[in-house]
Structure 1
């Protein structure tokens, strides 16, 4: 278990889904609240329709975007974003290939239902991988606005 696993399980028990949990964890890290962002990330859950890529991956991709994507007219996308997204994708597809029949939600949980023992572990792995990629690429995970 990682230091985040209990928080992830508690958020799941309170009804948040994969992508929402990753965003909620990031908001906690930043000591911020943003219900609109949490609601928006809910659209990514369960592979959007079950056929798409797992929401743990898309939530982690959004987390990387919080640090490196363009956020207003004065900003530019950070050149490290695409590299981090590529690394996250490569890691995720390998991770899923070793454990599941694919990277879509339906490949991970074939019945389309959220399974805490499966989904929780994948959410934790994706969240931790995103934090690792941020640190490796020179971002301080606790300060997303320091660009």
Structure 2
């Protein structure tokens, strides 16, 4: 059992989808919340409404990378590490999902775009852990609030 499994089950039971759960876990690590951001991630749920849409766990994880390294104000610049982190995350996810499910879409992972708790929850936990590792490996501190 992964250290995030209980929290993932709790959040899924409250009706949050994969992309929202990834960000919720990240904000919990920081001891903060952001209902507007969580609400916005609802747009990425279930392959963003398409059977051929990319898995929400990956989409939420990419958003988490952007949360730490993306441009947030006119004065900020995108951190140069973001492109590499996104590429590394995508390569990891593609390898995992292709080998286990035959693709990276919700339809491959959860046919009929209906979440499968055992499969989807585990994938969310793995994706979140991989994202934290990438952030740490590239010099970000996931427990510290993002530079807003």
Deviations 1:43-83 (A, max 9, x none): 11111123210000000000011110011112110000000
Q: For the Cα contact (< 8 Å) 2:47–2:113, is it kept in 1?
A: no
Aligned-residue Cα RMSD (Å) equals 1.2
Which residue in 2 is equivalent to 1:108? 109
Look up the match of 1:52: 53
Deviating beyond 6 angstroms after TM superposition, the runs of 4 or more aligned structure 1 residues are: none
Distance 2:137 2:120 in 1: 25
Contact 2:66/2:82 (8 A) holds in 1: yes
**Distance in structure 1 (CA, Å) of the matches to 2:147 and 2:33:** 18
**Long gaps (5+) in structure 1:** none
The structure whose residues are more often helix, as a share, is: 2
**Unaligned residue ranges in structure 2 (runs of 5+):** none
In structure 2, C-alpha distance between the alignment counterparts of 1:71 and 1:111, rounded to whole Å: 35
TM-score normalised by the chain length of structure 2: 0.95
Q: TM-score, normalised by structure 1?
A: 0.96
Please say which of residues 59-68 and 47-56 is displaced more in the overlay.
Answer: 47-56
| 1:89 corresponding residue in structure 2 | 90
Render the CA deviation track for 1:84-123: whole Å, top value 9, x for unaligned. Answer: 0000000000000111020011011112211111110111
How many residues in Structure 1 have an aligned counterpart in Structure 2? 147
